Amino acid sequence: MAQHFLLSKAARTLNLTKVARMSDDEAWSTFKAIRWAATDGEAFCPRCGCLKHSFIATRKLFKCAGCRHQYSVTSGTIFASRKLPIRDHLLAIAIFANGAKGHSALQLSRDLDCQYRTAFVMAHKLREAVAAEAADVTLAGNVEVDGAYFGGHVRPENMKADRRDRRFAENQTGKRRVVVVIRETKGKAVAFAFRSEAESVPTIVERVAPGSVVHADEAKGWDRLHASFQTRRINHQEGYSADGACMIGPHEVVRG
Ligand SMILES: [Zn+2]
Protein backbone atom coordinates (compact mmCIF):
# COMPACT_ATOMS: atom_id res chain seq x y z
CA MET A 1 0.00 0.00 0.00
CA ALA A 2 1.29 3.45 -0.84
CA GLN A 3 2.35 5.70 1.99
CA HIS A 4 -0.45 7.87 3.33
CA PHE A 5 -0.31 11.30 1.75
CA LEU A 6 -0.09 12.89 5.18
CA LEU A 7 3.29 11.17 5.61
CA SER A 8 4.57 12.00 2.12
CA LYS A 9 7.60 14.21 1.54
CA ALA A 10 5.31 16.82 0.02
CA ALA A 11 3.38 17.01 3.30
CA ARG A 12 6.46 16.90 5.53
CA THR A 13 8.13 19.76 3.68
CA LEU A 14 5.11 22.06 3.77
CA ASN A 15 6.23 25.39 5.15
CA LEU A 16 3.87 26.99 7.65
CA THR A 17 4.75 30.57 6.80
CA LYS A 18 4.42 29.95 3.08
CA VAL A 19 1.06 28.27 3.56
CA ALA A 20 -0.21 31.16 5.65
CA ARG A 21 0.57 33.56 2.79
CA MET A 22 -0.99 31.47 0.03
CA SER A 23 -3.89 32.70 -2.05
CA ASP A 24 -6.95 30.45 -2.27
CA ASP A 25 -5.82 29.20 -5.70
CA GLU A 26 -2.30 28.46 -4.50
CA ALA A 27 -3.64 26.61 -1.46
CA TRP A 28 -5.94 24.58 -3.69
CA SER A 29 -3.08 23.62 -6.07
CA THR A 30 -0.79 22.73 -3.19
CA PHE A 31 -3.45 20.58 -1.54
CA LYS A 32 -4.04 18.85 -4.88
CA ALA A 33 -0.32 18.10 -5.27
CA ILE A 34 -0.13 16.63 -1.76
CA ARG A 35 -3.40 14.74 -1.85
CA TRP A 36 -2.52 13.07 -5.16
CA ALA A 37 1.23 12.88 -4.52
CA ALA A 38 1.20 9.23 -5.65
CA THR A 39 0.19 10.31 -9.18
CA ASP A 40 2.35 13.46 -9.25
CA GLY A 41 -0.65 15.63 -8.45
CA GLU A 42 -2.91 14.13 -11.15
CA ALA A 43 -6.47 13.89 -9.88
CA PHE A 44 -8.20 10.54 -10.03
CA CYS A 45 -11.71 9.46 -9.17
CA PRO A 46 -12.06 8.39 -5.53
CA ARG A 47 -14.97 6.16 -6.52
CA CYS A 48 -13.63 4.17 -9.52
CA GLY A 49 -9.95 5.17 -9.72
CA CYS A 50 -10.25 6.53 -13.26
CA LEU A 51 -7.64 9.17 -14.15
CA LYS A 52 -9.66 10.68 -17.01
CA HIS A 53 -11.86 13.59 -16.03
CA SER A 54 -13.14 16.95 -17.08
CA PHE A 55 -12.77 19.95 -14.82
CA ILE A 56 -15.51 22.39 -13.88
CA ALA A 57 -13.33 25.43 -13.20
CA THR A 58 -16.00 27.67 -11.69
CA ARG A 59 -16.76 25.13 -8.94
CA LYS A 60 -13.31 23.53 -8.84
CA LEU A 61 -14.91 20.14 -9.36
CA PHE A 62 -13.65 17.14 -11.29
CA LYS A 63 -16.06 15.02 -13.29
CA CYS A 64 -15.00 11.42 -13.79
CA ALA A 65 -15.01 10.25 -17.44
CA GLY A 66 -15.57 6.68 -16.28
CA CYS A 67 -18.40 6.79 -13.75
CA ARG A 68 -19.52 10.46 -14.07
CA HIS A 69 -18.92 11.00 -10.33
CA GLN A 70 -18.18 14.60 -9.40
CA TYR A 71 -15.47 15.09 -6.83
CA SER A 72 -13.49 17.90 -5.28
CA VAL A 73 -9.88 18.08 -4.22
CA THR A 74 -10.86 16.98 -0.71
CA SER A 75 -13.39 14.25 -1.62
CA GLY A 76 -12.54 10.95 -0.03
CA THR A 77 -10.12 12.49 2.46
CA ILE A 78 -10.62 13.39 6.10
CA PHE A 79 -10.92 17.02 4.98
CA ALA A 80 -14.02 16.33 2.90
CA SER A 81 -16.48 18.04 5.25
CA ARG A 82 -14.73 21.36 4.50
CA LYS A 83 -15.69 23.17 7.65
CA LEU A 84 -12.44 25.08 7.24
CA PRO A 85 -10.90 26.73 4.16
CA ILE A 86 -8.34 24.61 2.26
CA ARG A 87 -5.54 26.82 3.51
CA ASP A 88 -6.40 25.76 7.05
CA HIS A 89 -6.32 22.10 6.06
CA LEU A 90 -2.82 22.71 4.73
CA LEU A 91 -1.83 24.44 7.95
CA ALA A 92 -3.14 21.47 9.90
CA ILE A 93 -1.13 19.11 7.69
CA ALA A 94 2.00 21.23 8.09
CA ILE A 95 1.63 21.38 11.86
CA PHE A 96 0.87 17.69 12.09
CA ALA A 97 3.60 16.55 9.70
CA ASN A 98 6.34 18.78 11.09
CA GLY A 99 5.64 18.74 14.79
CA ALA A 100 7.57 16.48 17.13
CA LYS A 101 5.09 16.97 19.91
CA GLY A 102 3.64 20.09 18.35
CA HIS A 103 0.40 18.76 16.96
CA SER A 104 -1.72 18.57 20.08
CA ALA A 105 -5.29 19.64 19.52
CA LEU A 106 -4.79 22.59 21.82
CA GLN A 107 -1.82 23.80 19.80
CA LEU A 108 -3.73 23.19 16.58
CA SER A 109 -6.67 25.27 17.79
CA ARG A 110 -4.32 28.15 18.66
CA ASP A 111 -2.43 27.94 15.39
CA LEU A 112 -5.56 27.71 13.26
CA ASP A 113 -7.50 30.12 15.44
CA CYS A 114 -10.45 27.73 15.40
CA GLN A 115 -12.54 26.13 18.12
CA TYR A 116 -10.90 23.54 20.31
CA ARG A 117 -13.48 20.95 19.38
CA THR A 118 -12.87 21.44 15.64
CA ALA A 119 -9.14 21.12 16.19
CA PHE A 120 -9.58 18.10 18.43
CA VAL A 121 -11.62 16.28 15.82
CA MET A 122 -9.12 17.19 13.14
CA ALA A 123 -6.10 16.12 15.20
CA HIS A 124 -7.80 12.85 15.99
CA LYS A 125 -8.72 12.27 12.35
CA LEU A 126 -5.18 13.01 11.25
CA ARG A 127 -3.80 10.44 13.65
CA GLU A 128 -6.46 7.92 12.77
CA ALA A 129 -5.95 8.30 9.03
CA VAL A 130 -2.24 7.78 9.38
CA ALA A 131 -2.67 4.84 11.74
CA ALA A 132 -5.07 3.10 9.38
CA GLU A 133 -2.48 2.96 6.63
CA ALA A 134 0.56 2.39 8.80
CA ALA A 135 -0.12 -1.27 9.45
CA ASP A 136 3.37 -2.50 8.64
CA VAL A 137 5.56 0.36 9.76
CA THR A 138 8.46 -0.32 12.12
CA LEU A 139 10.22 2.51 13.90
CA ALA A 140 13.81 2.68 15.12
CA GLY A 141 16.40 4.95 16.72
CA ASN A 142 15.13 7.64 19.05
CA VAL A 143 11.42 6.98 19.45
CA GLU A 144 8.91 9.04 21.42
CA VAL A 145 5.69 7.62 22.74
CA ASP A 146 2.90 9.93 23.77
CA GLY A 147 -0.67 9.36 24.87
CA ALA A 148 -3.63 11.67 24.33
CA TYR A 149 -6.73 10.77 26.29
CA PHE A 150 -10.21 11.49 25.01
CA GLY A 151 -13.78 10.60 25.84
CA GLY A 152 -13.70 11.52 29.52
CA HIS A 153 -14.54 14.43 31.75
CA VAL A 154 -12.04 15.77 34.28
CA ARG A 155 -12.48 18.91 36.33
CA PRO A 156 -9.22 20.82 36.05
CA GLU A 157 -9.18 21.92 39.69
CA ASN A 158 -9.21 18.32 40.83
CA MET A 159 -7.00 16.92 38.20
CA LYS A 160 -3.66 17.06 39.94
CA ALA A 161 -4.77 15.37 43.14
CA ASP A 162 -7.16 12.85 41.62
CA ARG A 163 -5.20 11.97 38.57
CA ARG A 164 -4.73 8.29 39.19
CA ASP A 165 -8.14 7.65 40.76
CA ARG A 166 -9.96 9.38 37.96
CA ARG A 167 -8.05 7.61 35.31
CA PHE A 168 -8.82 4.35 36.99
CA ALA A 169 -12.50 5.13 37.46
CA GLU A 170 -13.00 6.39 33.93
CA ASN A 171 -11.13 3.46 32.49
CA GLN A 172 -13.52 1.26 34.39
CA THR A 173 -16.51 2.83 32.63
CA GLY A 174 -14.85 1.83 29.37
CA LYS A 175 -15.52 5.22 27.84
CA ARG A 176 -12.06 6.65 27.80
CA ARG A 177 -9.50 5.89 25.16
CA VAL A 178 -5.96 6.97 24.71
CA VAL A 179 -4.51 7.62 21.29
CA VAL A 180 -0.86 6.63 21.52
CA VAL A 181 1.46 8.17 18.96
CA ILE A 182 4.75 6.36 18.39
CA ARG A 183 7.14 8.65 16.58
CA GLU A 184 10.74 8.59 15.45
CA THR A 185 12.37 11.89 16.30
CA LYS A 186 11.88 13.86 13.08
CA GLY A 187 10.69 10.73 11.31
CA LYS A 188 7.82 8.35 10.82
CA ALA A 189 4.86 8.21 13.15
CA VAL A 190 2.09 5.73 13.79
CA ALA A 191 -0.89 6.05 16.11
CA PHE A 192 -3.26 3.59 17.70
CA ALA A 193 -6.13 3.80 20.17
CA PHE A 194 -6.11 1.85 23.45
CA ARG A 195 -7.93 1.84 26.75
CA SER A 196 -4.79 2.74 28.65
CA GLU A 197 -1.14 3.51 28.08
CA ALA A 198 -0.12 0.21 29.67
CA GLU A 199 -2.29 -1.65 27.18
CA SER A 200 -0.34 -0.04 24.33
CA VAL A 201 3.03 -1.42 25.44
CA PRO A 202 2.82 -4.76 23.56
CA THR A 203 2.08 -2.83 20.34
CA ILE A 204 5.04 -0.55 20.99
CA VAL A 205 7.27 -3.59 21.53
CA GLU A 206 5.99 -4.99 18.25
CA ARG A 207 6.49 -1.77 16.28
CA VAL A 208 9.76 -0.44 17.66
CA ALA A 209 13.00 -2.15 16.64
CA PRO A 210 15.12 -3.69 19.40
CA GLY A 211 17.98 -1.42 20.44
CA SER A 212 15.92 1.76 20.01
CA VAL A 213 15.84 4.41 22.74
CA VAL A 214 12.27 5.10 23.82
CA HIS A 215 11.29 8.46 25.31
CA ALA A 216 8.14 8.58 27.43
CA ASP A 217 6.68 10.79 30.12
CA GLU A 218 6.32 9.73 33.74
CA ALA A 219 2.85 8.17 33.46
CA LYS A 220 2.91 4.86 35.27
CA GLY A 221 1.64 2.95 32.24
CA TRP A 222 4.99 3.40 30.56
CA ASP A 223 6.95 1.62 33.31
CA ARG A 224 6.68 -1.67 31.44
CA LEU A 225 8.66 -0.19 28.56
CA HIS A 226 11.83 -0.50 30.64
CA ALA A 227 11.68 -4.27 30.28
CA SER A 228 12.09 -4.07 26.51
CA PHE A 229 13.93 -0.84 25.74
CA GLN A 230 16.41 1.65 27.04
CA THR A 231 13.74 4.08 28.21
CA ARG A 232 14.14 7.76 29.06
CA ARG A 233 11.44 9.52 31.02
CA ILE A 234 10.44 13.12 30.43
CA ASN A 235 9.19 15.23 33.29
CA HIS A 236 6.19 17.28 32.15
CA GLN A 237 4.57 20.01 34.18
CA GLU A 238 1.73 18.82 36.35
CA GLY A 239 -1.27 20.35 34.64
CA TYR A 240 -3.05 23.41 33.42
CA SER A 241 -6.33 24.23 31.76
CA ALA A 242 -7.49 26.33 28.84
CA ASP A 243 -10.42 26.58 26.47
CA GLY A 244 -12.54 24.32 28.63
CA ALA A 245 -10.04 21.52 28.14
CA CYS A 246 -7.26 20.49 30.43
CA MET A 247 -3.99 18.75 30.05
CA ILE A 248 -1.68 16.76 32.22
CA GLY A 249 1.60 16.90 30.46
CA PRO A 250 0.81 15.64 26.98
CA HIS A 251 -2.48 14.03 27.98
CA GLU A 252 -5.33 15.99 26.57
CA VAL A 253 -8.75 15.67 28.05
CA VAL A 254 -11.91 17.10 26.59
CA ARG A 255 -15.27 17.43 28.20
CA GLY A 256 -17.33 14.52 26.98
ZN1 LIG B 1 -15.13 7.47 -11.46
pLDDT in tens, 171-226: 445 556 676 778 888 777 666 667 788 888 988 998 898 899 999 998 888 999 99
* Measured CA distances, 169 to 21, 89, 160, 193, 231 (Å): 47, 36, 15, 18, 28
Distance 55 CA to ligand 1 centre (A): 13
Q: How many residues does the chain have?
A: 256
When the pLDDT of each residue in the chain is averaged and rounded to a whole number, the result is 72
| Average pLDDT over every residue of 68-86 | 81
pLDDT at 103 (0 to 100): 54
User: What's the CA-to-centroid distance between 51 and ligand 1, angstroms?
Assistant: 8
Q: Determine the pLDDT at residue 71.
A: 92
- Other beta carbons within 10 Å of 214: 22
For residue 3, the CA-to-ligand 1 centroid distance in Å is 22
**Rounded distance from Cα 64 to ligand 1 centre (Å):** 5
- Using CA atoms, how far residue 33 sits from 14, 90, 97, in Å, is 11, 11, 16
**What are the structural domains of the chain?**
1-98 (no CATH), 140-256 (3.30.420)
pLDDT score, position 195:
75
Ligand 1 mean position, distance from CA 40 (Å): 19
Instruction: State the Cα–Cα distance between residues 170 and 180, nearest whole angstrom.
Output: 17
Measured in angstroms, how far is the CA atom of residue 246 from the centroid of ligand 1? 45
pLDDT, one tens digit per residue, over 3-45 is 577 777 777 777 777 887 889 899 999 999 988 877 778 888 8
CA of 53 to the centre of ligand 1 (A): 8
| CA 71 – ligand 1 centroid, Å | 9
Region 138-159 average pLDDT: 66
